[in-house]
Amino acid sequence: MTALPGDAIAGSWIRLTWSRTTWSLAIPCDYLPLVPIIDGAGGRITDWTGKPLTLNSDGRVIAASTERLLAAAIEVLHHALAAADSVTG
């Protein structure tokens, strides 16, 4: 996993990159302006459950270059979170 160069720009973002997918924790003013840009480029950006982002989203953001990659990334993320939960109790 590699940190993206834009990390310094938005200090509140925590990013891990897997292929062409990014998982993030952010505040709405960080991610909402990116929604039309990513969508317009053919990518997808949602919360960690695949729901559209809103001002009320909790900051758990995932973006991918394709719908298929987004679905795969969400599945991997859910498996990783479940595994972490099983270890921590």
The CA–CA distances, whole Å, from 57 to 2, 5, 21, 48 equal: 25, 25, 19, 10
Predicted pLDDT of residue 1: 41
Q: Which pTM was predicted? A: 0.68
- Angle at alpha carbon of residue 38, lines to 76 and 16, rounded to 5°: 40
Q: What is the number of domains present in the chain?
A: 1
Residue 80: half-sphere exposure toward Cβ, Cα within 13 Å: 8
Domain that holds residue 60: 5-88
38-67 tens-digit pLDDT: 999 999 999 999 999 999 998 888 889 899
Predicted pLDDT of residue 86: 85
Residue of 82, 79, 23 whose CA lies nearest to 13 = 23
3-39 tens-digit pLDDT: 444 433 343 344 444 445 555 566 888 889 999 999 9
Query: DSSP character for 2?
Result: B
Predicted pLDDT of residue 30: 83
Residue type, 27: I
